[in-house]
Chain A
Amino acid sequence: EPEVTQTPSHQVTQMGQEVILRCVPISNHLYFYWYRQILGQKVEFLVSFYNNEISEKSEIFDDQFSVERPDGSNFTLKIRSTKLEDSAMYFCASSEATWGEQYFGPGTRLTVT
């Protein structure tokens, strides 16, 4: 069964450093999403992406964040200068259609020290 994959599973970085989280969505999916979950809290929407541009972003997704689909398979989330409060689990998701079910990856745990 096709699945969304994410790398790395765990990333530790120092405050102020740039990080790139990688996702490989399901191959025939066209809509891509990033969510995050701060430890012990609910899952929050960050951004949606379609046709090589951002469709919608939340208030969390400020200028420090960017997304990119650099090739036909990867979907990345970049945090330019990490802060302690960026420590969270980041989930990538993809769907075949706007209204379709979103399939989530296993997540990348980001720890900012």
Chain B
Amino acid sequence: GNSVTQMEGPVTLSEEAFLTINCTYTATGYPSLFWYVQYPGEGLQLLLKATKADDKGSNKGFEATYRKETTSFHLEKGSVQVSDSAVYFCALSDRSGTYKYIFGTGTRLKVLA
């Protein structure tokens, strides 16, 4: 079945460091891909998305490119801030059924001042 695999956390970085959170997926067909962010005590917020191969989603300095050949959607940011500390979830939209979302396990990011 369809699945999403994310790198294990937690990830601890200093402010202004470069961030990469790896995400790979297994899917039949051509899913849409998403990154969601969850700040402490809050719900899920869409960070960015990509709907087809080679699309690049971007928002708030974060980027991710839909790579069909490597089935990946890695999240990157050039310079993280303390306020980026949160849990990041990679997800795909399962187009084989009702387009339900399948989430990865989440990666906790902690940014130190």
Counting chain B residues whose Cβ lies within 8 A of the other chain, the interface size class is 20 to 34
Identify which of residues 48-88 in chain A touch chain B, using a CB-to-CB cut-off of 8 Å.
48, 50, 55-56
**Is A42's CB under 8 angstroms from B104's CB?**
yes
Q: For the complex, what is the distance from the CA of A95 to the CA of B46, rounded to whole Å?
A: 13
B18 within 8 A of partner (CB): no
Counting chain A residues whose Cβ lies within 8 A of the other chain, the interface size class is 20 to 34
Residues of chain A contacted by B106 (CB below 8 angstroms): 42-43
| Residues of A bordering B, CB below 8 Å | 31, 33, 35, 41-45, 48, 50, 55-56, 91, 93, 95, 98-107
| Residues of B bordering A, CB below 8 Å | 32, 36, 42-46, 49, 89, 91, 93, 95, 97-106
Apart from A45-B102, A50-B98, A55-B98, what 14 extra A-B contacts exist at CB < 8 Å?
A31-B99, A35-B103, A41-B105, A43-B89, A43-B103, A56-B98, A91-B44, A93-B101, A95-B99, A99-B93, A101-B46, A102-B101, A103-B46, A107-B44
